[in-house]
Chains A and B, each alone.
Chain A
């Protein structure tokens, strides 16, 4: 698996660090009423078999945070964009 960093070009997997699902959103509220939203955010995942939007850090490269859209069934990468633009 190789990832095409929008800044550095196509690089080997070893250069990247995985963070996980890019679709989960950190809740705004710190109130006890937001507990369920926090449990969702911290623990629950869609974990799809198919296209998955995920955060990767180009940790041995330009240090950009990326949103990679990848098929979890065959590891094919469909799209890579900077996280700051995507979200």
Chain B
């Protein structure tokens, strides 16, 4: 069913009794052209673009839990393309462009809100660094504005401009950045892929891979063996666990990162803002809660939860930037698992097993990359060639010395 004003009105006057489930719940077939392991945002986007851009519709997505249960529903919903390095910025800008057309492409309301992303800076050297980043963004066709204090004051009058330790000197603003309702992204991609014939199989964990003569022939799952000409791994957070089944050792550590939401308040902040002197980023949800997050926990974890030191660190960062939140109560906090690669950049590549493809290592940045990661991964699976925008995301770049060190932040700063 195509959603439109007409379908909305027709269903409203008939008591909303005729809405259909958004996707089917099929049992797996014996054989597919492509099986995608992982029904998160990236896996579902890959299925959608395989079907739509490459006409490959004999595809299954196997997901160990339910759609939206993993990182696609755990992030802080921010989308932006304020990267700097040549291997990164064209990719993330393409992702931004796909976000801009996403709802029309999927015929689904993902609440794409280009409210703007502001990175506040607090010193002259940091202004220089952000000016350089902004110029790199402009050179790659993205948008960026360097704001002075008064420019920042117009956007966020409540921040602590004269903080003794971290005075606000200005900010780098990307007006096209913003937020997207994250679980609607999963649902929208799932519906669009399903409508083209992709089978989405939930509660069906992959338990192994079948390889014959160096070539993948299928996936062992909780619902039995599923044959496949090609298998695509898209399980960031658990990439090591799944790659282990195929005998692939990755330059990845799993770390947890926490996010928080406060009680709902009246409209306070209508953009996304990041603190420049600590790790704190904040936006306001449509229900009124402030959604914010911070740094990774900093030690290997598969626990999907964090510990108190980071809670304190995030709260301190928030108070240094915007003391106005001091009496707000935090309603919930939760954790998600990150594939932290050793250079802080992702991997979209083939593997030593023919027909087995890898999309992993998204560190903090997987959500904003969802459309472009799906687009480029689908291109790699369909054509066997890396997409030009993702050509730098090679697995062998660590051995080759071509690491993409965007922010000096992999699993640990001393590793690159």
Q: Which residues of A are in contact with B by a Cβ distance under 8 Å? A: 1, 12-14, 18-21, 35-36, 39, 42-49, 52, 54, 70, 72-75
* Separation of A37 and B338 alpha carbons in the complex (Å): 26
Q: Which residues of A contact B399 (CB under 8 A)?
A: 35-36, 39, 43
Q: Which residues of B contact A74 (CB under 8 A)?
A: 303
Which of B299, B308, B312 contacts A18, CB < 8 Å? Answer: B299
Given the interface pairs A13-B309, A49-B254, the reply to whether A44 lies near B241 with Cβ below 8 Å is: no
Secondary structure call for the B interface:
mixed
Instruction: List A contacts of B241 (CB < 8 A).
Output: 49
Residues on B with beta carbons closer than 8 Å to the beta carbon of A52: 300
- The reply to whether B299 and A54 contact each other, CB–CB distance below 8 Å, is yes
Instruction: Report the stretch among B155-163, B244-252, B281-289 that lies at the interface.
Output: B244-252
Set A36, A46, A54, A75: member contacting B303, Cβ < 8 A: A75
B299 nearest CB neighbor, chain A only: A18
Contact check, B249 vs A44: say whether CB atoms are below 8 A apart: yes
Among B300, B312, B342, contact of A72 (Cβ-Cβ < 8 Å): B300
Asked if B411 contacts A39 (CB within 8 A), the reply is no
0/1 per residue, B268-305, Cβ < 8 Å to A? 00000000000000000000000000000011111100
Please report B residues at the A interface, Cβ cutoff 8 Å: 238, 240-241, 249-254, 298-303, 307-309, 312, 342, 398-399, 411-412, 415
Inter-chain CA distance A53–B373, complex, in Å, is 33
Q: Which of B238, B252, B301, B303 contacts A45 (CB 8 A)?
A: B252
- A contact residues around B238 at 8 Å (CB): 49
Shortest CB–CB separation between residue A12 and chain B, in angstroms?
A: 8
Residue on B nearest A73 in the bound complex, by CB: B302
Nearest Cβ on chain A to B349's Cβ, whole angstroms: 14
- Please determine whether B301 and A42 come into contact, CB atoms closer than 8 angstroms: no
Q: Which residues of the other chain, A, contact B254 by a CB distance below 8 angstroms?
A: 47, 49, 72
Taking a contact as CB atoms under 8 Å apart, the answer to whether B252 and A75 are in contact is no
Contact sample, A vs B, 11 pairs, CB 8 Å cutoff: A13-B307, A18-B299, A43-B251, A43-B399, A44-B249, A45-B253, A47-B252, A49-B241, A73-B303, A75-B303, A75-B307
Q: Are B250 and A18 in contact, with the CB atoms below 8 A?
A: no
Query: Nearest Cβ in chain A — how far from B355, in angstroms?
Result: 23
* A44 close to B250 (CB less than 8 A): yes
Q: CB distance A45 to B250 under 8 Å?
A: yes
State in angstroms the CA–CA spacing of A78 and B308 once bound together. Answer: 20
Most chain B C-beta atoms within 10 Å of own C-beta, residue among A42, A45, A75? A45
Question: How far is it, in angstroms, between the C-alpha of A59 and the C-alpha of B398 when the chains are bound?
Answer: 30
Q: How far is the CA of A65 from the CA of B309 in the complex (A)?
A: 20
**Is there contact, CB below 8 Å, between B302 and A49?**
yes
A13-B309, A43-B398, A54-B299 known, 12 other contacts, Cβ within 8 Å? A13-B307, A14-B309, A19-B412, A35-B399, A43-B342, A45-B253, A47-B240, A49-B302, A54-B300, A72-B300, A72-B301, A75-B301
